[in-house]
Amino acid sequence: MKSSNEVAEWRQTSSFIAEPKVYGRDHDKENIVQFLLTQARDCEFLSVYPIVGLGGVGKTTLAQLVYNDHRLKSNIFHTKIWVCVSEDFSVKRILCSIIESITREKCDALDLDVIQRKVQELLQSKRYLLVLDDVWNKNQELEFGLNQEKWNKLKSVLSYGSKGSCCLVSTRDEVVASIMGTCHTHHLSGLSENECWLLFKQYAFGHGREEQVELVEIGKEIAKKCGGLPLAAQALGGLMRSRSGEKEWLEIKESR
């Protein structure tokens, strides 16, 4: 696989929350915000906080909730930066994204040293929150993922920020957290059956549309099939939206 160095558009994420309603993440969000406001703030070194969980469990959504929390205002973090990393952990691209996010100008520099110096200047004496969303580990199948050498290169520059700075990382892979050398990992579990049902229902019946009583019990059984994954609840809910007959719902309920 050749590295294109660019994240495919459909995989790109941003700090904006696209989901109209986020279910069941108050507790997770609170833990992370409190970490940022207390432990990270008192830490002499850059804190790294990984959120680890299955694909589609809601890691990016949780990171967005934290990023946009009203308590993390400019007197807490001078700068907030969101970088969508994806499979290719390119140190240069990540540094350029940081430059572009802070300066709002295109980063044209080609030389790593120049780019590193620029980021050092921009981060120096600033307390920042950096989200590295969707980080992958280098392994046999994935040539361009994160490894120790790349992390050390990036961290050497990130460490120029002020005390209290934090790097929030979302990843499916536990190895990423160990490469980054963090002492704490936030394991994100799936939604409860009820939360999954509420999300499924929102997609299946839509806003403002009357929910059909005869479909509710069947729907709850279908929602259980999602195994707590919001991505699955959305997809199955969306699928059921165009199927309003009880028979069709029963077919999906019975299917494996």
Ligand X SMILES: Nc1ncnc2c1ncn2[C@@H]1O[C@H](COP(=O)(O)OP(=O)(O)OP(=O)(O)O)[C@@H](O)[C@H]1O
- Binding-site string for ligand X from residue 128 to residue 167, where x marks contact by CB under 6 A and - marks none: ------x---------------------------------
* β-bridge mates for residue 135, sequence order: 86, 171
C-alpha radius of gyration, the chain, whole number? 21
80 binds, among Mg ion, ligand X, none (CB under 5 to 8 A by kind): none
How far CA 183 is from CA of 130, 160, 180, in Å, comes to: 18, 20, 9
72 binds ligand X (CB under 6 A): no
Total chain residues near ligand X (CB under 6 A): 22
Find the part of the chain contacting Mg ion (CB under 5 A) among 53-61, 110-118, 122-130, 187-195.
53-61
Closest CA to 88 of 4, 165, 167, 30: 4
Sequence-distant (6+) residues with CB within 8 A of 73 are none
Sequence-distant (6+) residues with CB within 8 A of 178 are none
231 binds ligand X (CB under 6 A): yes
Q: How many CB atoms lie within 10 A of CB 183?
A: 7
234 binds, among Mg ion, ligand X, none (CB under 5 to 8 A by kind): ligand X
Q: How far is the CB of 13 from ligand X (least distance, A)?
A: 7
Q: How far is the CB of 114 from ligand X (least distance, A)?
A: 32
Find the part of the chain contacting Mg ion (CB under 5 A) among 55-63, 70-78, 100-108, 192-200.
55-63
- Binding-site string for ligand X from residue 161 to residue 180, where x marks contact by CB under 6 A and - marks none: ---------x-x--------
Q: Give the separation between CA 251 and CA 112, rounded to whole angstroms.
A: 57
Q: Give the separation between CA 65 and CA 16, rounded to whole angstroms.
A: 9
How far CA 91 is from CA of 83, 109, 151, 160, 254, in Å, comes to: 11, 13, 8, 16, 48
Residue from 7, 15, 25, 123 touching ligand X (CB under 6 A): that is: 25
60 binds Mg ion (CB under 5 A): yes
220: region left, alpha or beta (phi > 0 left; psi from -120 to 50 alpha): alpha
Find the part of the chain contacting ligand X (CB under 6 A) among 29-37, 102-110, 206-214, 228-236.
228-236
Residue from 7, 24, 50, 91 touching ligand X (CB under 6 A): that is: 24
The separation between CA 25 and the C-alpha centre of its own chain, rounded to angstroms, equals 13
Would you tell me which residues interact with ligand X (CB under 6 A)? Answer: 18-19, 22-25, 53, 55-61, 134, 170, 172, 191, 199, 230-231, 234
